[in-house]
Structure 1
Amino acid sequence: MNDTAIVKDLSFTYRSWTGKPNRPVLEHLDCTFPKNSKTLLLAPFDGGKSTFARILSDVCPKYIQGDLQGSVTICGKDLSLTEPWDLLLDCGYVSQDPQEQFIATSVEDELAFPLESLGLDRKTIERRVDEALAQWDLLPMRGSSEQELSGGERKRVLLAVQQVINPTFWILDESFDDLDLRWRSLLAEKIKEDNHTVLVLASRYLSQFEGLFDRYALIENGKLRFGEKQEILQSFSHLCGDDLPNPLEEQVIQVPRRQTLTCSALKTTRSRVSSIDEKPFTLAVPSFSLSSGDLSTLVGPNGSGKSTFSRLLCGLDVPSEGEFTLDGKIVSAKTLNRTVGYLFQNPDLQIFLPTVREELSWSLKRRKNLSAAEIEKMVSDCAILFDLELEDTPSTMSYPLRKALQAAVYYLLDRPFYILDELDNALTYATALKIITRLRRNGAGILLITHDQNFASLVSRTTFAITDGKLGCQ
Structure 2
Amino acid sequence: MQHALHISNLEFTYRSWKEEECDSLFSNLSLKLGEGSKTLLLAPFNKGKTTLAKIICGVCPKYFPGNLRGTISLFGRNLSTLEPWDLLTSCSYVSQNPQEQFVATSVEEELAFGLESLGLSRSEMKERIDAALGHWGLESLRTSSQQELSGGERKRVLLAVQEVLQARLWILDEAFDDLDQTWRDQLRKTIQESDNTILVLASRYLQEFSDLFDQVVLLDQKRIHTPAFDALLPRFSRLCGDDLPSPLDGQVLDSCKKHTLSCIDLQAQRKRLSTLQGQMFSLSVPNFHLDSGELVTLVGPNGSGKSSFSRLLCGLDDPISGAVCIDGQPFTSKELSKKVGYLFQNPDLQIFLPTVEEELSWSLKRRKDLKPEEMRSRVSECADLFGLKLGDTPTTMSYPLRKALQAAVYFLLDRPFYVLDELDSSLTYNSALSIIARLRQKGAGLLLITHDRQFARGIAQRGYGIGDGRMASL
Q: What range describes the TM-score normalised by the shorter chain of this pair? A: over 0.9
| 1:42 maps to 2:24 | no
Give the match for residue 357 of structure 2. Answer: 357
Local SS of the residue matching 1:446:
strand
Q: Residues of 2 paired with 1:115 and 1:173: CA distance?
A: 22
Q: Residues of 2 paired with 1:423 and 1:469: CA distance?
A: 23
Give the match for residue 223 of structure 2. Answer: 223
**5+ residue gaps in structure 2?**
none
Verify the 8 A CA contact 1:4 1:76 in the aligned structure 2.
Answer: yes
User: Which letter does structure 1 place at the counterpart of 2:121?
Assistant: D
User: Which letter does structure 1 place at the counterpart of 2:266?
Assistant: L
How far 1:219 moved relative to its partner?
1.0
Q: Residues of 2 paired with 1:131 and 1:283: CA distance?
A: 30
Between stretches 27-36 and 143-152, larger displacement belongs to 27-36
Give the match for residue 250 of structure 1. Answer: 250
Aligned Cα root-mean-square deviation (Å)? 0.9
Give the match for residue 94 of structure 1. Answer: 94
Q: Residues of 1 paired with 2:289 and 2:370: CA distance?
A: 33
How far 1:457 moved relative to its partner?
2.1
Q: Residues of 2 paired with 1:26 and 1:349: CA distance?
A: 30
How far 1:41 moved relative to its partner?
0.5
How far 1:255 moved relative to its partner?
3.2
Local SS of the residue matching 1:247:
coil
Q: Residues of 2 paired with 1:210 and 1:247: CA distance?
A: 27
Local SS of the residue matching 1:248:
coil
Give the match for residue 55 of structure 1. Answer: 55
Deviations, residues 209-233 of structure 1 (Å, cap 9, x unaligned): 0110111111113221112222111
How many residue pairs were aligned?
474
Local SS of the residue matching 1:263:
strand
Between stretches 52-61 and 220-229, larger displacement belongs to 220-229
Give the match for residue 307 of structure 2. Answer: 307
1:176-195 correspondence runs (5 A): 176-195=176-195
Give the match for residue 130 of structure 1. Answer: 130
User: Which letter does structure 1 place at the counterpart of 2:413?
Assistant: L
Verify the 8 A CA contact 2:2 2:75 in the aligned structure 1.
Answer: no
Between stretches 79-88 and 432-441, larger displacement belongs to 79-88
Give the match for residue 400 of structure 1. Answer: 400
Give the match for residue 413 of structure 2. Answer: 413
User: Which letter does structure 2 place at the counterpart of 1:290?
Assistant: L
Give the match for residue 152 of structure 1. Answer: 152
TM, length-normalised to structure 2 = 0.99
Q: Residues of 2 paired with 1:204 and 1:214: CA distance?
A: 18
Give the match for residue 5 of structure 2. Answer: 5
How far 1:194 moved relative to its partner?
4.5
User: Which letter does structure 1 place at the counterpart of 2:59?
Assistant: V
Local SS of the residue matching 1:303:
coil
Q: Residues of 1 paired with 2:102 and 2:255: CA distance?
A: 44
Q: Residues of 2 paired with 1:454 and 1:255: CA distance?
A: 30
Give the match for residue 114 of structure 1. Answer: 114
Q: Residues of 2 paired with 1:454 and 1:275: CA distance?
A: 33
How far 1:112 moved relative to its partner?
1.0
Local SS of the residue matching 2:225:
strand
Local SS of the residue matching 2:248:
helix
1:274-353 correspondence runs (5 A): 274-353=274-353
Verify the 8 A CA contact 2:30 2:223 in the aligned structure 1.
Answer: no
Deviations, residues 142-166 of structure 1 (Å, cap 9, x unaligned): 0011111000000000000111111
Q: Residues of 2 paired with 1:86 and 1:250: CA distance?
A: 55
How far 1:19 moved relative to its partner?
3.3
Between stretches 222-231 and 371-380, larger displacement belongs to 222-231
TM, length-normalised to structure 1 = 0.99
Give the match for residue 454 of structure 1. Answer: 454
1:64-79 correspondence runs (5 A): 64-79=64-79
Give the match for residue 143 of structure 1. Answer: 143
Q: Residues of 2 paired with 1:200 and 1:177: CA distance?
A: 12
Q: Residues of 2 paired with 1:111 and 1:318: CA distance?
A: 34
Deviations, residues 242-276 of structure 1 (Å, cap 9, x unaligned): 01111101211133110001111111111111122
User: Which letter does structure 1 place at the counterpart of 2:376?
Assistant: E
Give identity over the alignment, percent: 57
Deviations, residues 89-140 of structure 1 (Å, cap 9, x unaligned): 1111000000111011100000111111111100111111011101111011
Deviations, residues 168-192 of structure 1 (Å, cap 9, x unaligned): 1110000000000110111111111
**5+ residue gaps in structure 1?**
none
Give the match for residue 20 of structure 1. Answer: 20
Give the match for residue 441 of structure 1. Answer: 441
Q: Residues of 2 paired with 1:297 and 1:384: CA distance?
A: 28
Q: Residues of 1 paired with 2:325 and 2:387: CA distance?
A: 37
Local SS of the residue matching 2:342:
strand
Q: Residues of 1 paired with 2:320 and 2:328: CA distance?
A: 20
How far 1:324 moved relative to its partner?
1.2
Local SS of the residue matching 2:16:
coil
How far 1:57 moved relative to its partner?
1.1
Give the match for residue 271 of structure 2. Answer: 271
Between stretches 386-395 and 10-19, larger displacement belongs to 10-19
Q: Residues of 1 paired with 2:432 and 2:335: CA distance?
A: 28
Between stretches 360-369 and 457-466, larger displacement belongs to 457-466
Q: Residues of 1 paired with 2:458 and 2:350: CA distance?
A: 27
